[in-house]
Amino acid sequence: MRILRSTRRLSDWSQALHREGVIIGLVPTMGALHDGHRVLIRTARASCDAVAVSVFVNPRQFGPGEDLSRYSRPFRSDAALCRQEGVDVLFAPPPEAMYPPLFQTSISVHRLSQRWEGEHRADHFAGVATVVTKLLSLTRPHKTFFGQKDYQQAIVVGQLIEDINLGVKLVIHPTVREQDGLAMSSRNAYLTPAQRRTAPILYQALLAGKEGVDAGIRSGSRIRTIMLKQASAQPTVTVDYLTVCHAKTLEPLSRVRGKAVLLGAIRIGRVRLIDNVMVKARQ
């Protein structure tokens, strides 16, 4: 496995492979790799000739007061996991390689970025869209792999790819969970043991909403109430949002028809967790 730190090296690698007709897959991450990332890498490995993983804690997607400085950066174990999974290139640039002093461009996917996570994390998705555009331009992959865990992010990236004709296939992998249902996340490591025991409440609330839809409830506000009631059973939890929305536009639904997504974000102490569940309302 090659570890590349400069953007030039990454684009040289990609250009050489393109000349040979090699199918390239890219898995963008912020490192602190866990089994959720591992399945994305395996999925990429299974359908591409060459796999690049980026490990970059992107400062532009963190707001003031967020966890940029304390975000875990266990580079040696990340590299070991990538090696184990047969990754060809690990791209781990320093921030100044991605954002040199004269850097001044921002990519924004406007409407999709404003809701939900965007309401709680101003500029977050502009940071994501900008770094993803750079990573895709440098790697020029045929396929790129994202997790459903960050549903809004995956939808924003899908729209970005379509809007500016990036010509890469987006593969969205289902969320990988711990045994008790908690979605795997690098941020779970911040939870104290007591908070960790509480954390599955988010998935349980989303599942309660899904059970409601499966039982024939179609009113968006009733489904929201069911989810909120479940989450509020834990007094240490603050709900940022629990909602039912259109699976593509992410607009909140007053009535559920066809496919929809239940999105949720809660805070337990200083830790913020997000999750989602797809639902389908049968006629």
Distance from chain centroid for Cα 265: 13
Active site residue ranges? 37
Q: 276 is written with which tokens?
A: 């989602």
Distance from chain centroid for Cα 183: 11
List, as one string, the DSSP characters of 225-251.
Answer: HHHHHHHHTSTTEEEEEEEEEETTT--
* In the complex, residue closest to ligand AMP by CB: 147
Residue of 56, 150, 260, 265 interacting with ligand AMP (CB under 6 A): 150
Residue of 1, 68, 97, 184 interacting with ligand AMP (CB under 6 A): 184
Q: Is 61 in the site for ligand AMP (CB under 6 A)?
A: no
- Tokens 């309401």 map to which residue? 119
Residue of 10, 13, 14, 29 interacting with ligand AMP (CB under 6 A): 29
Q: Is 222 left (phi over 0), alpha (psi -120 to 50) or beta?
A: alpha
Nearer to ligand AMP, 121 or 173 (CB): 173
Q: How far is the CB of 88 from ligand AMP (least distance, A)?
A: 18
Q: Is 175 in the site for ligand AMP (CB under 6 A)?
A: yes
Whole-number Cα distances in Å, 154 to 31, 65, 114: 18, 24, 14
Q: How far is the CB of 131 from ligand AMP (least distance, A)?
A: 10
Sign of the alpha-carbon dihedral angle for 281, 150, 254, 251: negative
Q: How far is the CB of 282 from ligand AMP (least distance, A)?
A: 27
Distance CA 28, CA 213 (A): 33
Q: Is 224 in the site for ligand AMP (CB under 6 A)?
A: no
Number of residues this chain uses to bind ligand AMP (CB under 6 A): 16
Chain positions contacting ligand AMP, by CB under 6 A? 29-30, 36-37, 40, 146-147, 149-150, 173, 175-176, 183-186
